Chain A
Amino acid sequence: MKSYLLPQFAVHRDDDRCIRCKVCVSQCSFGVHAYDDEDDEIRSNEGACVGCQRCATLCPTGALVIRRHPHEFRPNANWSEEMLLDVKRKAETGAVTITGMGNDKPHRVYWDHLLLNASQVTNPSIDPLREPMELRTFLGRKPDGLLFKDGRLITDIPPQVMIETPIIFSAMSYGAISYQAQLAFMQAAQELGTLCNTGEGGWPMDFRRFGRNVIVQCASGRFGVDPDYLNQAAIVEIKIGQGAKPGIGGHLPGEKVTAAVAATRMIPEGTDALSPAPQHDIYSIEDLSMLIYALKEATNYEKPISVKIAAVHNAAAIASGMVRAGADIIAIDGFRGGTGAAPRVIRDNVGIPIELALAAIDERLRREGIRNRASILVAGGFRNSADIIKAIALGADAVYIGTAALVAMGCTLCQQCNTGKCAWGITAQDPYIAKRLNPDIATRRLVNLVRAWTLEIKEMLGGMGINSIESLRGNRLHLRGIGLQEWELEVLGVKGAGQ
């Protein structure tokens, strides 16, 4: 069947600048560029271009410009080009359309409608260059109260994991991302004194040395989960859901299940790695509690157990159940959270923004008097340090970053993660392509990003006259809304600007 889909990107090559070095030919993993020996010319198959900008970035003479294809359909407010193409694609395949990364729809980003406070006259601001600023954060259940006897603390303190900055690398599995990319996350987390999350695809043996900086997941597929996996990590996270695809499972296609991926996931090579939609031992809060305590038994009550859900309509009530079920940490992933592969229709239509979910959950747990019993981690589209500090003011203990970390490594959000062809080597499983991501350089870029954001958070804290992130946590008086309706201010629990 001839495809009626038009190319999405146009390739403009300035022939005067092009020196026929063929970097573009070797770098494009989607097969766009080809060198014609006879004519000494490089030709481009625009239809295959995904707009990842790898060729344009590496072209030594700047000869390439990749831009949105200028073709235009007759304007129609109901039938945008995207809608037309989606219908045509389904008419040609009869299949669910899979995509990568997070929701790209223009929903309101609430972070952009929240403004931070600063000290003026009545309390002094603090200069972070001269005075210590405390960002250190402890993740885990806090006791309901402290008891002392003869000046000595006698309350049992549940296990805590200390991080130096409230920024953690989000769950991305080996298989979804390359070995090199996961190594970069581990190295960066270690250097920064924070954590990274293995995702649900197991934990390569060579990376076990990073255990103190690693969160492992126990998800519906139970890939690579054995007693050593659980005990060598700092935190064990039960993955119920993911912001990009709430309510559905996942599957790593057989062609991405290489020998190394298979060994790590502890499954046979070449089979689909299916993660069922639910965990089949969890059909209720009581069942969740059973798995939480199974994991506590398996790790001798020495590690905090986290439970991660997607932000959905009743997230606050569910979160309350999770905490009562024994979760030491609850992780909430908003609908802008990324994915290695999800049906586009789910990614773009299911779930709610993390800003609203976080505010509702923090409020609910406080009202019920159980906020101390779990740390709150939030994920789902954090783009800068201001988003992060606003999340902390709304009640988060720390923030998971995924997409931003990938962007730091080179990602341009071309949304092809699921194809395994990532030209930047980040989500590629083909060893030839994956090798182009140098783990040490990627580590440097990740460390730089988190360092820069950490410094910016200190600047903003100092401006508010606060010298410890603990004092900002859940302190919504430092936030004001702008351009928001009454119901939105109410959910966020903040006043409008000027109020």
Chain B
Amino acid sequence: MSAQVEVLEVLAAPGAGCVTLDARGRSYRELNRTLRSLATRRGVSRISVTNVLGQRYIGTNLRGEIEVRLYGTPGNDLGAFMDGPVIYVYGNAQDGVGNTMNSGKIVVYGNAGDIAAMSMRGGKIFVKGNVGSRSAIHMKECGEKKPLLVVGGTAHDFFGEYMAGGTAILLGLSLGPGEYHKANFIGTGMHGGEIFIRGRVDPSQLGAAVKISEPAGDDMRRIADAVGEFAELFGYDAGEIMHEEFLKLSPKSLRPFAELYHAGSRDSLQLG
């Protein structure tokens, strides 16, 4: 493809390995190309981007151990298919944060939009505020790869729909006293993974596929690890968060729809 896109101006190099870019007026294609080229530059370990305004796909196809700090509001699909980098968003994020993400970390110091962590397979996402609809939808896991989504506030409908693996945690810190979480249909079609919820949720808000229980075994330890990291990132007191009870949601069945279908051949009927 064209090599005509100029490299964005590198504003400053405040410390070893740190560079700053101004994204004002830049297309996502231009910005992302520049990020990729900087990330492969020897010695660059952190890139700060100012005036981010709606640029999509930041972090996509950015491989390796690089830290990206975004000031402003990144656009949709932040970190889509991402593999490795750590992204901090000092602002709100839009839809599709960590879409089909493979590894790495995304930290949002604000709210995130719909389908956060959709189909995420590995890595971690921390959102200080709330997330939109269908977040944690179809999260999955494979072997050692277990994705983690921690949301400080609440989520909208269909949180954890079709969830097939990984851990999603709602902390409910944005809810007033006695206020219920916003989401309905939580865990609809869930057939893997786990959801931990702190704060009030009525059984009518849950999908038919989920089983409610108290955290058991090493659940609390894993929640404490996640909450510890969350609290450190956003300046909360982890102990205070852990003081309240958590609810665990897990799938009733690894095969929620099996009995709705029949193979059709005569021999698979129970004869006799």
Contact = CB atoms under 8 A, between A and B. Distances in A.
Nearest to A156: B2
A97 B258 contact: no
Interface stretch (A35-43, A112-120, A225-233, A377-385): A225-233
Contacts of A218: 100
A267 B192 contact: yes
B262 interface: yes
A313 B1 CA distance: 37
A272 B32 CA distance: 37
A418 B262 CA distance: 10
Q: Bin chain B's interface residue count.
A: 35 or more
B206 to A, nearest CB: 18
Interface string B158-173: 0001101100000000
A97 B262 contact: yes
A44 interface: no
A213 B100 CA distance: 24
Contacts of B2: 156
Contacts of A96: 260-262
B189 A274 contact: yes
A53 interface: no
Interface in B23-72: 28-29, 32, 56-57, 60-61, 63
A422 interface: no
B182 interface: no
B73 interface: no
Nearest to A100: B264
Given A272-B254, A294-B99, A281 B81 contact: no
B121 interface: yes
Interface residues of A, number: 59
Given A227-B102, A253-B258, A294 B80 contact: yes
A225 B142 CA distance: 12
Nearest to A6: B266
Interface of A: 1-3, 5, 7-8, 30-31, 47-48, 50, 89, 92-93, 95-99, 156, 218, 220-222, 225-227, 230, 251, 253-254, 262-263, 266-268, 270-272, 274, 276, 280-281, 290, 293-295, 297-302, 343-344, 415-416, 418-419
23 contacts: A3-B269, A3-B270, A3-B271, A50-B265, A89-B264, A95-B260, A95-B262, A98-B264, A156-B1, A221-B119, A221-B138, A226-B121, A251-B257, A254-B254, A262-B142, A268-B164, A274-B138, A280-B162, A297-B28, A297-B60, A297-B61, A298-B81, A418-B263
